[in-house]
Amino acid sequence: MATTNEAAQRHWWRGAVIYQIYPRSFSDSNGDGVGDLPGIIGKLEHVASLGVDGIWISPFFVSPMADFGYDIADYRDVDPLFGTLADFDALLAKAHKLGLKVMIDQVLSHCSVEHAWFRESRQSRDNPKADWFVWADPKEDGTPPNNWLSLFGGGAWQWEPRREQYYLHNFLVDQPDLNFHNPEVRAATLANVKFWLDRGVDGLRLDAINFCFHDAQLRDNPHKPKALRVGRGFSTDNPYAYQYHHYNNTQPQNLEFLGELRALMDRYADVGALGEISSEDSLAATAEYTAPGRLHMGYSFELLTDDSSAAYIRATVEKLEAAMREGWPCWAIANHDVPRAVTRWGHGDASPALAAQLVALVCSLRGSVCLYQGEELGLPEADLPYEALQDPYGKAFWPNFKGRDGCRTPLPWDGGNGAGFSNATPWLPIPDAHRALSVATQEADADSILHHVRRFLAWRNTHPALRVGTIRFLDAAEPVLAFVRETAGEKLLVAFNLSAQARQWTLPDDVQATPLGDHGLLTAALANRVLAFPPRGVFYAHLD
């Protein structure tokens, strides 16, 4: 397990904090109500001031925007909504000047129905792209070839009358799945990746990377008992939860493709690949996908759930640690697909102390970290009316599940009508509660969440154990989470009170701790080996 300071210096991504930018909602430079690449350029100083190591930019490629950019029609160009290739080059140059690495989304398993590949493929069964997508004949009664379901609800097969066949879409009907069993598809996909690596990006975030291959025999997925239908990253009333998804994703052939991808990336100096992995056993798949010669890092939805108990966090991390002997994890408790962390884990308490603590918690686990835009402000989930929704997922499952728009509302830069995001009507409404937490408001308050996060990240960067050290958990009763981070030169005790009430915890007999300060968070007091935590308090100490 590579956890030394030397390894951290060799690979920028190891132990890095990566700030996720959702372009539509970051900053609008041209007054159309939608964020864009020049808008990002104009706000990069804010990101750099946080003390993060790099940025991950969600898709900005040419797209009809059925799934807001995750349905790509041209992998090698910028959608005019977001700017131009020249704008991207300028963004890359400015980020590098500010000391920020740049990671971009790559959506490899599927594309848009408007992509030239699919437009050709759907015309006939004998054109040059005929086998580039997953096509299948109907059953004798005209129904789809098997029982596979789309994550966005309903069947995963769509009829194409020109071919008299169905095509597979694991996501929206507008997102046909590519046929990675075809070597031409793999080669073309790698050529698209190479285009951006040649342009100078420092890393790739690989969307739904375990969905590249499907079972060539098209076997039915087995049903899942009702008691086990627990959703991660999707609504539990979605029929997708009714199956074990053994055959429509996470196929063994994917590992060979990851090796091909890694071989390409190894031709470039110090770039990293972060895979998003959601499967029946995402932690086991993450360990497998980050084995030597495959992805550099992986993350799953395990900490993007509603369970914020110390026991759950510990069990999740320990399970991955046990499986991941040589790979490197990446943790996130928020992104553009799930309700915001202070709402999801606060259970009614969206206090500044909670917001700051959550950033510290995810940044203290072993691995790299993805922070989602707005976490530095403690933004809660936006509660939007049905008529304001843009997300097709939310529209389909309203009112039980409101989709993903509540975490995608524009970032509030000030308290004005457009919140400093845009001079026009934003593509999603900005809640008044978000304006009250704007960047401008928090910049003016030395005790704000924003300043606490800055102080903490600066402090974290001075402690190698928190960036690259091993992790070992200590026994503690709820709601206390405690563990040890250790490198050859540093050994730290880390503890969190995960409740909104004061708590106490007695240090184990074999633990001799010297408290560390200056991290900018509410800290526990140590007296006679007893830690007295304030609500949402933390404790960092050197271990003798």
The pair of structure tokens assigned to 382 is: 């936006």
The pair of structure tokens assigned to 387 is: 């008529």
Cα 395 from Cα 402, distance rounded (Å): 7
Contacts of 166 (CB under 8 A, 6+ apart): 135, 136, 137, 138, 144, 145, 157, 158, 159, 160
Scanning 363-514, the segments in alpha helix (DSSP H) are 392-397, 432-435, 439-443, 449-460, 464-468
Query: Tokens 């939310």 belong to which residue?
Result: 394
Total residue length of the chain: 544
Contacts of 67 (CB under 8 A, 6+ apart): 171, 172, 174, 175, 392
Q: Which of 87, 207, 376, 391 is catalytic?
A: 207
Q: Do 409 and 434 touch, CB atoms closer than 8 A? A: yes
Is residue 207 annotated as part of the catalytic site, yes or no? Answer: yes
Please state, in angstroms and as integers, the Cα–Cα distance from residue 2 to each residue in 10, 54, 292, 316, following that order.
11, 21, 11, 21
C-alpha atoms less than 13 angstroms from C-alpha of 180 in its C-beta half-sphere: 27
Cα 57 from Cα 102, distance rounded (Å): 8
Q: Which of 276, 376, 391, 405 is catalytic?
A: 276
Closest by CA position to 493, among listed 520, 522, 524:
524
Is residue 276 annotated as part of the catalytic site, yes or no? Answer: yes
Contacts of 281 (CB under 8 A, 6+ apart): none
Cα 450 from Cα 412, distance rounded (Å): 13
Tell me which residues are annotated as active site.
Answer: 207, 276
